[in-house]
A = this chain, B = another copy of it.
Amino acid sequence: MIESTPVRTGRPDACASAPPPHPRPDGQDRYTISEVSAWTGLTAHTLRWYERIGLMPHVDRSHTGQRRFTNRDLDWLTFVGKLRLTGMPVADMVRYAELVREGEHTFEERQELLESTRRDVRARIAELQDTLAVLDYKIDFYAGARRAPERTT
């Protein structure tokens, strides 16, 4: 239902940060909320909130009702973290999560949603590179002005 996230890029030692290995192998993957909080950097509050708003597939519970997260949940949270970095609103992530819950007949819509996100990400990268050029220019200006303070207008 949830496809897995790429495990390695083709290049050895690529700049992209390596995908985090799971703390425990499949089969022993029943993490408490605080373990997941430590691993993801999200607070326990946020993890519960994500579940409430439908951003998590239903999380398993212990016999006493406490959450027990799996490696699959960790993968999902890693992916959600990527989407969050793109600036995607939480509501859109919830929409994607709903599509995942609805099964394989939503593949097309999921693909479209991700392609639209990809366009946004590319646009944002371009904007940031533009900004980088401006920052470089201004930093050079300050560096130059400080080297030759008598002629800075």
Contacts and interface: CB of A to CB of B under 8 A. Distances in A.
B86 A128 contact: yes
Q: How many copies of the shown chain assemble into the complex?
A: 2
A66 B6 CA distance: 57
Contacts of A134: 5-6, 79, 82
Interface residues of A, number: 46
A141 B115 CA distance: 12
Nearest to A136: B118
B121 A125 contact: no
Given A118-B135, A132-B121, A111 B143 contact: yes
Nearest to A83: B131
A14 to B, nearest CB: 9
